[in-house]
Amino acid sequence: MVKKIEHHNRSGCPVACALDIIGDHWTLLIIRDLMFLGRHEYKDMLNAEEGISSNILTDRLKKLECNELVCAIPHPQSGRRKLYYLTSTGKDLIHVMIHMARWSDKHLNDLVKIPPKKRDVLVKNPEKMIQSTLEQLAAWEKKFLTGTKTCV
């Protein structure tokens, strides 16, 4: 079902290669939902405040699966719902995400709204934020992925 995809692959530059996969307006917001906001279902991401449209969401989830940043399993309590989650490749984007958030907080402070507590950790102790985020994800995985055949 999930195949390798043909990226554009504009060059061998690592920045260009990354952008061929995550360099659009929506992909990293989906990663954010999965990484920080505990949104593991289609409808959760569809209802995110940025207002992604359903065709784009479907398309991006498909591409993320093709590129093996995201994986999905059927919801244990429901035959039609799915649970999406980050693979280790996807989770490894956490450093990019954290530094992007720090950059925004520093330079776009009139636009950015972060709860003060989170902001404090983000600014003063990003490593701690990375650790606790990864722990949360691990806890979710323990709850939902144990005993099933899963992608890593």
Would you tell me which residues interact with DNA (CB under 7 A)? 24-26, 41-43, 46, 51-56, 58-59, 61, 72, 75, 77-82
- Both structure tokens of 53: 């449209």
5 within 8 A of 66, measured Cβ to Cβ: yes
Q: Does 97 bind its own copies (CB under 8 A)?
A: yes
Contacts of its own copies in 11-70 (CB under 8 A)? 11-21, 23-25, 28-29, 32, 49-51
Looking at 55-63, 72-80, 103-111, 136-144, which segment touches its own copies (CB under 8 A)?
Answer: 103-111
**Nearest distance from C-beta of residue 143 to DNA, angstroms:** 17
Distance of closest approach, residue 103 Cβ to its own copies, in angstroms: 6
Q: Which is nearer to DNA, 42 or 114 (CB)?
A: 42
Tell me the CA distances in angstroms from 86 to 32, 77, 92, 145, 150, one per residue in order: 10, 20, 9, 12, 11
CA distances from 20 to 85, 107, 133 (A): 21, 26, 26
Nearest distance from residue 10's CB to its own copies, in Å? 4
What are the CA-CA distances from residue 42 to residues 5, 31, 57, 106, 141 (Å)?
21, 13, 8, 31, 17
